[in-house]
Structure 1
């Protein structure tokens, strides 16, 4: 049965490649980049394994690369690919596959991926890194398959747990909050540890030693313990690795039991109160107002929309803490433009997020102008005040009037340009996105190449349109002249409004001209 599941994974991958050239392009791009980085580290590992490097340097290289590889297997399934979409455990509920066979098949099929290829290259380098000691070399060779299986099991445990316990909106919101808390807390922890030492060179051995007794790097540190003759330390690290494997296995089993034997009960429906029409009661009784009200409802209730806003408070907290610790204000001053860039890009995939609900626009005959204006207005309702706060408050606290003018000008210009560009690209450059009810972190299988190209094109256009403001910003940094700050603000607002108006008009033309094709393309992603 496990062999059947592996063949199924290979067949599904082949079908996916045959259906979309973007899938081939995206996979090849990721593979080339990943192999390029892995090859660089391979060369470094071979060089450091010649016996001339100090033991501490070799240990640090082994532990840090191992921790990075482990984090790669943890974070990529959650935040980039949303798990193995081809082998979602829920797909096997009706096939009555024996649990042991299903667990083994899912673990082995998880190893058929681009990540495995990249990891194997690093593991070969890990073996070459310890070739100067026969005992460490033997342990590195024996631990190679153990580490690959461990990473695969951990990734599968995360994927299965996401499918079993984080399918509902409330669970996803909790997960997002935990992720936000982890992101906010990571910087203070790192800085606190670094402040306890005079230099990074003093802190590194302690960091490496701690990591070598955690699941992140216990496996890669096994050869070091053998090279030192520390059998007790080797046994402790091996116990951590085996404990990680056992914990991952228990999580996979519990999640499969939840999926196959204890499915969640259907959510209870709620009856809407008479006359409670939400945002529709607050907008003008115009077609564009109805579009804006619907989009505002999505921003409030659809985690795929709101999930993109989680980064805003995270950036604010990290910027404040880092600026206080390091003693520089550039991170605080960069907060406004960066928040504006994130929010301005927020409607770049609006139509794709509509999925089959976009049929309402088609059948109701919504004009392109109303569609583009309504979506832009819904975003600007909250994006404008957030941008002004992110740009104005830090600038007022850390600089004079000129700093406030420059920061607000750059931020508003970036926001308006971003919304204008997104109004065009969201109608012309469509790409697959998570479907309604899916995790906001999930990426549809085969969409990586297409989405990467479309998003990169939008970002390049936005940066190109912001060149005048960037030039004036550099002039102001050099001269601190008031005229440069005032000119920047005027140009940012004027050009931003022009780009916004142009984007709505051009996007409306594209929308009206390609409406059947847009709906057909969106429907194909569902």
Structure 2
């Protein structure tokens, strides 16, 4: 069964590369980038072995590999998702159990740039501990279990969160957990960056303490075993090894449980069925036009679809992380940055509109067959985006101003938040009509990659955010100048509102025209599936 699943993964990967230019380009770029990271990591490990004392090298390796394992979890949840080239649901009609599939899915999941890179770097770790036979043996024993723990932790976490997000009862809790996870990681990064001015003795003490803490965390249990052996702490090494093995067994069983459920539920859940109620407040907010109908439909997606909810959590992390890191910074000059934190949310969450059309999948046929104009499609999605994100932006803005106490910056903050949000929606309306790609289907895991491998979504984000910043430069310049010429703050607020509305209007118009000329191509692009 393992050979069959691995061969199936390789075949599907080969076919998807032939069929999708995005997947091919993404694989090449990712391969070059991954190869560079692997080479740098191996060079660093060899340098530690040759020139660093044994205790310092051990602390660095423990901390680095614990962060690597945590990175699998963090980036799987918030950035890259998981590769579902071999979809377990496709085995539902075959006489195979979850336990029989797991070994093959584990190996198949490691066939990819992240898995291969992690395996190579983990094997290089043996060089770092090549100081005595006992440490070498411990490292050799730990490597396969450590690599497996990276994959199992990421896969189990994404599976559990996907199930949580598919349940409306726990959706908000999962949303908050995702945001807290990202903000916490950013706080750690900020605190680490603040160590630049520390002395060598202080850095050595901090490194030792950090490695000690990391070694007793689940992400560091296995990786710290060779270090304990090198210090002569055989009893502690055995305890950590047993803890690490117990974690792997627990993750394996949890994964098996959810995999078994998926094998008997081959049809992706589409959300909870509910009777449509007439006369909702939101329905009365939208005009009785085709654009209003699109707005109401897409607003339901924003509330119920796990893919949208995970996206909101990812964008919300940006301002939360900035606020948290600046609070942790004792420098009093960081308070204005807290006040301007909502600007990030207003800028980047708006460009999500550029990716909205791809999430419709083949359901976009409803717009095409009904003769809906492109402008109505663009405007309706702006309605739903503003309905959901407007109150969120207002809340984050008030909170950030209250925490920072910089109420005198209200005009400047509002100018950037309102202006860049409107500009972002206008840019997103246009960029979203330029190109589309096959996203994970409705009801699927929000952490699953699409057939294109995620590259077009990344490019869409970069183009949309870049255009939004470029068009917002005059507004940004006015806000900066207002710190010296106070009355320019009011001018910036007016320019932000008027200029944002102009960009929004033209973005909807130009994006709508683009869609009307290429509806068939849009339908083909969003309907493509890996097979």
Give the structure-2-normalised TM-score: 0.86
2:410 aligned with 1:411: no
Q: Distance in 1 between matches of 2:42 and 2:143?
A: 15
1:27 aligned counterpart, secondary structure? helix
After superposition, the Cα gap between the structure-2 partners of 1:370 and 1:158, relative to the gap in structure 1 and judged at 3 Å, is closer
Which stretch shifts more, 454-463 or 514-523? 514-523
Give the corresponding residue for 1:104: 103
Q: 1:505 to 1:30 in 2, by over 3 A?
A: same
Task: Give 5+ residue unaligned stretches, structure 2.
Answer: none
Provide the rounded CA distance (Å) in 1 between the counterparts of 2:141 and 2:245. Answer: 14
CA contact (8 A) 2:434 2:514 kept: yes
**Structure 2 SS opposite 1:444:** coil
**How far is the alpha carbon of 1:311 from its aligned partner?**
4.8
Aligned residues of 2:286 and 2:296 also touching (Cα < 8 A): yes
Question: Out of 508, 513, 517, which is 1:509 matched to?
Answer: 513
**Partner residue, 1:338:** 344
Residue 469 of structure 1: how far off its partner (Å) = 2.5
1:489 aligns with 2:493: yes
Q: Choose 107-116 or 322-331, whichever is displaced more.
A: 322-331
Residue matched to 1:132:
131
More displaced stretch, 29-38 vs 228-237: 29-38
Shift in alpha-carbon separation, 1:92–1:164, aligned structure 2, 3 A: farther
Tell me by how many angstroms 1:201 deviates: 5.0
Distance apart, 1:474 and its partner CA: 3.7
CA–CA distance in structure 1, aligned partners of residues 233 and 258 of structure 2: 38
Residue pair 1:475, 1:484 contacting (<8 A) in 2 also: yes
Which residue of structure 1 aligns with residue 473 of structure 2?
A: 467
Corresponding residue for 1:16? 16
SS at match of 1:94: coil
After TM superposition, list the pairs within 5 Å mapping 1:351-500 onto structure 2. Answer: 351-391=357-397, 394-395=400-401, 398=404, 403-477=409-483, 480-500=484-504
Checking the alignment, whether the CA contact within 8 Å between 1:388 and 1:408 is kept in structure 2 is: no
Q: Deviation per CA, 1:149-200, whole angstroms, max 9, x where unpaired?
A: 34344445456656778755556655434333444566789999999x9966
Task: From 202, 205, 209, give the equivalent of 2:208.
Answer: 205
Q: What is the alpha-carbon distance in structure 2 between the residues aligned to residue 175 and residue 16 of structure 1?
A: 32
C-alpha distance in structure 2 between counterparts of 1:306 and 1:374, whole Å = 19
The worse-fitting range, judged by mean Cα deviation, of 397-406 and 119-128 is 397-406
CA distance in 2, matches of 1:26, 1:65: 26
Q: Which moves more between the two structures, 424-433 or 180-189?
A: 180-189
Aligned to 1:4: 4
Aligned Cα root-mean-square deviation (Å): 3.5
Partner secondary structure for residue 440 of structure 1: coil
- Match for residue 26 of structure 2? 26
Equivalenced residue count is 522
- The CA deviation at 1:265 is 12
Aligned residue in 1 for 2:60: 61
**Bigger Cα displacement from structure 2, 505-514 vs 213-222:** 213-222
- The answer (yes or no) to whether the contact 2:49–2:129 under 8 Å persists in 1 is yes
Report the alpha carbon displacement of residue 288 of structure 1 after superposing the two structures with TM: 2.1
Shift in Å at residue 319 of structure 1? 4.9
Which stretch of the first structure deviates more once superposed, 390-399 or 353-362? 390-399
1:227 match: 230
**Contact 1:388/1:412, CA 8 A, preserved across alignment:** no
Structure 1 distance, partners of 2:381, 2:148, is 46
Alpha carbons of structure 1 residues 243 and 457: separation in structure 2 relative to 1, 3 Å: same
The 1:254–1:423 alpha-carbon spacing in structure 2 relative to 1, beyond 3 Å, is: closer
**1:48–1:306 distance in 2 versus 1, CA, 3 Å:** closer
Contact 1:172 1:439 in 2 (8 A): no
| Cα pair distance change 1:282/1:159, threshold 3 Å | closer
* Deviation of the 1:445 alpha carbon: 3.3
* TM superposition shift of 1:337: 0.8
Q: Give the CA deviation at 1:423.
A: 0.8
Residue 76 and residue 380 in structure 1: after superposition, are their counterparts in 2 closer, same or farther (change >3 A)? closer
CA-to-partner distance for each residue in 1:420-442, whole Å, 9 max, x for gaps? 10111111121232321122232
**Displacement of 1:338:** 0.7
- Aligned to 1:95, what secondary structure does the other structure show? coil
Task: Point out the more displaced range, 413-422 or 112-121.
Answer: 112-121
Q: Which moved more, 1:305-314 or 1:445-454?
A: 305-314
Give the direction of change, closer, same or farther, for the CA distance of 1:128–1:320 in structure 2 (3 Å limit).
same
Superposed displacement of residue 296, structure 1: 2.5
Cα deviation for residue 262 of structure 1 reads 8.7
Separation of aligned partners in 2, 1:520 and 1:265: 21
Q: Distance in 2 between matches of 1:403 and 1:382?
A: 25
CA–CA distance in structure 2, aligned partners of residues 391 and 160 of structure 1: 33
Alignment of 1:274-293 (within 5 A): 275=278, 279-293=282-296
| Range 316-325 or range 248-257, more displaced | 316-325
Q: SS at the partner of 1:85?
A: coil
TM-score (norm 1): 0.87
Q: 1:47 to 1:200 in 2, by over 3 A?
A: closer
**Structure 2 residue 251 is matched with structure 1 residue 248:** yes
